[in-house]
Amino acid sequence: MRRWILAAALLASGPAMAVDSSNFQLRSAGDLVQACSVKPDHPLHANAMGFCHGLLVGAYRVYESTVKAEDRLVCPPSAMPTRAKVMNDFVAWAGSRPQYMKDAPVDTLFRYLAEAFPCRK
């Protein structure tokens, strides 16, 4: 999975830009938060946003296709928020939880999703 994420990040950055690939290696949740926090005036903003949105959707789709509905911890509302809202809310959530920034990126993302969109059982 990590190889796929790195490959996607490097492809998204394109050959014309001098990219420090460590920005997109996602060694930790902190790397994900940093990548998803790139300001609009930064030259890598579009790449970072595409990367973050892709990771968010991809991780959720894998979860959705591999975890039975009755076993899920994450249950989004019928009126789904936009990807940008979920991503921005994740970044804000993570900013107040520094204890998770060294954890695995997808694990931390799902920790947020389970808190923000818990299943009612």
Q: Which tokens belong to 53?
A: 């949105």
Instruction: Look at the pTM and tell me if it is higher than 0.75.
Output: yes
The Cα-based distances of 39 to 18, 62, 73, 74, 115 in angstroms read 18, 28, 31, 29, 26
What digits encode the pLDDT tens for the residues 83-120? 999 999 999 999 999 999 999 999 999 999 999 999 98
Q: Which amino acid is at 96?
A: S
- In DSSP notation, 16-29 reads TS---GGGGS--SH
Partners of residue 74 on adjacent β-strands? 118
What digits encode the pLDDT tens for the residues 10-43? 334 333 222 345 667 889 999 899 999 988 988 8
What is the rounded CA–CA span in Å between residue 10 and residue 33?
18
The domain locations on the chain are 2-116
